[in-house]
Chain A
Amino acid sequence: MSRLMSTEIEIGIQSQLVTLRGDGTLYLPRFRSLLAADLHLGKDASFRAAGVPVPGGIDEVTLQQLSLALHESRAERLYVLGDLIHDRHSMTSRLVRQFCSWRESHPRLSLILVRGNHDRHVSRFPTGWRMETCRRAVLGPFHLMHEVSSSSPPVDSIERESIEVGGHLHPVARVGRGADQMRLRCFLVGDRQVVLPALGPFKGGMPVKKGRQKLYPICDGKVFSGMPEC
């Protein structure tokens, strides 16, 4: 059964096991680390500040999804692959408090933010968030970053086995055709690259075409092991 969907799928990249999860996060079993990308917290607040009415409650849902993923995967470390925050209007006192209390509910978790372009609006994150930040992180062969390189990563002798993992693109797959077409968020997996979909509601997406990379669409908490034929 090649066209199956599941709550998670294990795939091998360069003989390394990774788990694609139906919620759009990625788990690295060898490092007990959960990876999530593009949370864009406070995006709703930025819109409201500019006079565009977006209901609140979106960040709660995003953080709940994250908590559930942490619980299910029993990860010890969480890497956010950039764009934790939407923009400078996003850091409302409400969000600061909200994130603090979320953080308190995960006392033993270490949290690392790999900074993305949207995170530039915040030079220092509140100490209560207990979060390290970096530009890039390396976990064995995995190079975690916000934006993966557009061409294939350099193949030199030292980093032959390296795998880039990032976000930034918000990839979505177009499924179906004509009036029936749907956009599903998806993982984008190349030979030596993985791009994660954006996590949580109210995130846009960029349609990607199936090329040399493989698409793993997600829908309703399930991940497809390939493009569903509809």
Chain B
Amino acid sequence: MNRRTLSLTAAAAALAVSLPAMAQERPTLTVYTYSSFSGEFGPGATIKANFEAECDCTLEWVETEDAGTLLARLRLEGDSTDADIVLGLDTNLIANARETGLFAPHETELGELDLPVEWTDDTFVPFDWGWFAFVYDSETLGSVPTSFEAFVEDEDGPDIIIQDPRTSSPGLGLLLWVREVFGDDADEAWELLEPRIVTVTRGWSEAYGLFLEGETDMVLSYTTSPAYHIAVEEEDRYRAAIFEEGHALQVEVAAMTMATDTPELAREFLAFIVSDGFQTAIPEGNWMYPATTPADGLPEAFETLATPENSFLPDPDAVEANRSAWIDEWLDAIGR
């Protein structure tokens, strides 16, 4: 009975693995990314088709849940990773990623980038970016704060749902944004905000979902989030609150691994990232700003979005050095 159970299990497991792709003559470029990028509604399929049309190769997506898992998996695989490219880390993970020594310089001419900040990194190629912002429903929220300071100090201000900086990249982004705006008074700002924090979720998806369910006035997301609702749902009630102090940036990046067995192809892909074949898929696929604006410009929904005057890009090395201490302070300010 028991032996039969086990052999059945083995058979079923073998079935589940099923036939991997048949051996191919064309070279394969293996790209690790997060699941909403390569998933059915993400830009992955378009990018794959566009790249394969010009590279005479096969692009294979390997997906993990999110950016954090992506890096963890890569670290566990180390030098023997199958990844040629890792796509989807963000600026807050760059220092961590660089420290692993698993990434190779891109040695690619990126041309002019359309980022609000200068980009000089020799390893990580930006593929899209966005400003963190609090998104609200203009049909239910009457008074919208126009500065971070006013937002924090108004006791009767809007409720928020945010992400946990211990588990989520936007959550960490907010921590750095508050630090940038309030400096040494960051803890005080958190203490003021605390009563209006409805909850702190594991990742962006839960938070945004709860916001759409109407559980909070505002949610930490991106200034580009309203574009989704405009373009797909033809719904313009969702807006991003713009704070006059400025907004923290998230830049999403890709890099090639040291371990790649097709460095030429990997470089070709990194160059392709900043071309129209990749970038046109970004705005309405990943709902972020493209790293270089495509020749045809941005989609209509993006043209109407509110944009901040000032941008902060937290210094990756400072993030890496202080992350743990800052999270502890955050916990002290709102956790107990």
Are both chains from one complex? no
| Chain B residues at the A interface, C-beta cutoff of 8 Å | none
| Chain A residues at the B interface, C-beta cutoff of 8 Å | none
